[in-house]
């Protein structure tokens, strides 16, 4: 269990022994290939602001209690 640094090193050694020396390299390569999906980071700032405004207007909160 990787709750400590020593445990993490043991888990990494186990993964490399089971799945090969390039285990973590292959995981990173998959993430690099799939990492260009868009989202808010690729939108113009005014579009993101508009989405936030709409979300704020459609708030699900009830009436403020006094």
Question: What predicted TM-score, i.e. pTM, was given to this entire model?
Answer: 0.48
pLDDT at 57: 84
**Which residues have a Cβ under 8 Å from the Cβ of 55 and sit 6 or more positions away?**
none
pLDDT at 2: 67
pLDDT, tens digit, 9 for 90 and up, residues 25-60: 999 888 878 766 677 777 888 988 998 888 888 877
The number of angstroms, rounded, from the C-alpha of 59 to the middle of its chain's C-alpha atoms is 25
DSSP string, 12-63: HHHHHHHH-TTHHHHHHHHHHHH----SGGGS-HHHHHHHHHHHHHT----P
Handedness of CA 63, 64, 65, 66 (dihedral sign): negative
Task: Tell me what the mean pLDDT of segment 10-17 comes to.
Answer: 95
């Amino acid at each position: 269990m990787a709750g400590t640094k020593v445990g993490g090193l043991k888990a990494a050694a186990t993964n490399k022994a089971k799945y090969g020396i390039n285990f973590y390299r292959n995981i990173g390569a998959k993430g690099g290939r799939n990492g260009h999906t868009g989202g808010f980071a690729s939108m113009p700032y005014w579009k993101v602001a508009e989405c936030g405004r709409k979300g704020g207007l459609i708030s699900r909160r009830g009436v403020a209690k006094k």
